[in-house]
Amino acid sequence: MQGNMTVKDSGSAEIMSVRKLRKSFKGRRGKGRPQVVEAVRGIELSVAEGEIFGFLGPNGAGKSTTLRILSTLLPADAGEVIIAGHNVRTEPREVRKQIGYVSQAGGADPLATGRENLLLQARLYGLDRTTADRRSGELIESLGLQDFIDRFVKTYSGGQKRKLDIAIGMVHSPKLLFLDEPTTGLDPVSRSQL
């Protein structure tokens, strides 16, 4: 992913600022010759609170790599990322408290129920039992999880797993939510509801 992408300030406080973000990977090409692949090349952007921002591009363009850097899962080679006033490189723990991240692959435990997954994630983020129950209930209703939330995740369809993954990413009410391919596996009605 390359270039300068700037979101104009909508009058709200800035929730994320990215400056000169770069990431390369070493690989092999052809007859074993080393090759450096620039996955992320000089991204600059800022996003205001309440704003929706999307990365669009073909497979291999660096979208997921960028999201992994922004969510503290992968170190950048260069650049600066500030999320909710915290530097991703020097304050990753503080950044993680402020964000939710839903990866392409998801992260729910298939041998637990959807409700157990939601409650565990809420408790890991420090919510007390009462608040975790309340917040889980809100998400179960708003994302339409009622019919399958108490079944083991391994029995879910792809779309049901995706809805649960999104609920897990939102259960602690993050200031910023990262969604990597959020509508994968969702039927048209579910996509519209999302």
> What is the value of pTM for the model shown?
0.83
pLDDT of residue 3: 45
Q: Which two tokens stand for residue 171?
A: 């259960």
164-178 pLDDT, tens digit each: 999 999 999 999 999
CATH number of 104-194: 3.40.50.300
Q: Which residues contact 5 (CB under 8 A, 6 or more apart)?
A: 43, 44, 45
| Phi, psi torsion values for 110, nearest 5 degrees | -70, -20
SS3 (DSSP) at 131: helix
Question: 121-156 b/e with 16+ CB inside 10 Å = b?
Answer: bbeebebeeeebeebbeebbeebebeebbeeebeeb
pLDDT digits (tens, 9 = 90+) for 44-70: 999 999 999 998 888 888 999 999 999
Question: What ranges do the domains of the chain cover?
Answer: 1-28+35-102, 104-194
For 1-28+35-102, give the CATH class: alpha beta
